[in-house]
Amino acid sequence: MRAVLSIGSNMADRWALLRGVHAEFRGELVAASPVYSTPPWGVTDQDEFLNAVLIVDVDASPLELLRRGQRLENEAERVRVRHWGPRTLDVDVVQVTGDDGAEVHSDDPVLTLPHPYAHERAFVLVPWLAADGEARLHGRRVFDLVAGLEASEVESIRRVGTLEDGER
Residues found in the chain:
168
Provide the pLDDT for residue 137: 97
- Return the amino acid letter for 39: P
**90 burial via Cβ count (<10 Å: 0-12, 13-18, 19+):** buried
CB 88 within 8 A of CB 9: yes
What distance in Å separates the CA atoms of residue 168 and residue 137, rounded to the nearest whole number?
30
Q: Residue 103 has what DSSP assignment?
A: B
Domains assigned to the chain = 2-167 (3.30.70.560)
- Return the amino acid letter for 140: R
What distance in Å separates the CA atoms of residue 40 and residue 63, rounded to the nearest whole number?
27
CA 155 to chain centroid, in Å, comes to 18
In order along its 168 residues, the chain shows pLDDT tens digits of: 999 999 999 999 999 999 999 999 999 999 999 999 999 887 788 899 999 999 999 999 999 999 999 999 999 987 766 676 688 999 999 999 999 999 999 999 999 999 999 999 999 999 999 999 999 999 999 999 999 999 999 999 999 999 987 554
What distance in Å separates the CA atoms of residue 3 and residue 55, rounded to the nearest whole number?
6
Provide the pLDDT for residue 49: 94
